[in-house]
Amino acid sequence: MLWIVGAGGLGREVADAARAAGTPPEGFVDDRAEGPVAGLPVVRTPPEGAELLVAVGDPSTRERLVERLVAGTPAGAVVHPSATLAGGVAVSAGVVVLAGAVVSVDAVLGPHAQVHYGATVGHDTRLGRAATVLPGAHVAGSVHLGDGVLVGTGAVVLQGLAVGAGAVVGAGAVVTRDVAAGATVVGVPARPR
């Protein structure tokens, strides 16, 4: 019994992906929305025994919700059937992979990581806990994205680099060297903001 935490835009996208994957959600858990949303009920408190999937784009907010709501509760994972996951990809609890995404061989998607529409993740890449790759972003092979990293729409992270925990790669940026934890980088080539 899958319930999606967050009834905003991403929550509706995840509900669509879950339906396409043959795991239709029962509803949304959201203390700010009123239902129904996308034809599903909205509740403030998760039902007993619910499998929860946090569908919030901001990694730090997602982590807070995971700690508050999901601790001790099984977390679902949703992979849209039009996404491509190559051999050896490890998908952790709470992961979301949306339509058209491509994840190459032996990549690791850490707990509650997200790979959005049309994004690519290269071979042997590791996405830390709650790392997020937004639509159309490209993460090359052997990259390490730390916990809570956000890679913006259309950004590129080149081969073999590390992006430290909590860092933000701005939309359209091209990362050509390692990014320090907590840094925000923008531009081509990406530089600290």
The answer to whether the beta carbons of residues 141 and 104 sit under 8 Å apart is yes
Distance of alpha carbon 157 from alpha carbon 18, whole angstroms: 28
DSSP state letter for 69: I
Q: What are the catalytic residues?
A: 123
| Ranges of H-type helices in 21-95 | 59-65
Distance of alpha carbon 44 from alpha carbon 57, whole angstroms: 19
Q: Counting Cβ atoms within 10 Å, is residue 78 exposed (0-12), middle (13-18) or buried (19+)?
A: buried
Whether the CA torsion 66, 19, 119, 127 is positive or negative: it is: positive
Task: Work out the angle at residue 82's Cα, subtended by the Cα atoms of residues 81 and 88, and round it to the nearest 5 degrees.
Answer: 70
The answer to whether the beta carbons of residues 111 and 95 sit under 8 Å apart is yes
DSSP state letter for 66: I
User: Does the annotation list 147 as a binding residue?
Assistant: no
Q: Counting Cβ atoms within 10 Å, is residue 92 exposed (0-12), middle (13-18) or buried (19+)?
A: middle
User: Does the annotation list 124 as a binding residue?
Assistant: no
Binding-site residue numbers for substrate are 30-31, 57
Binding-site residue numbers are 30-31, 57
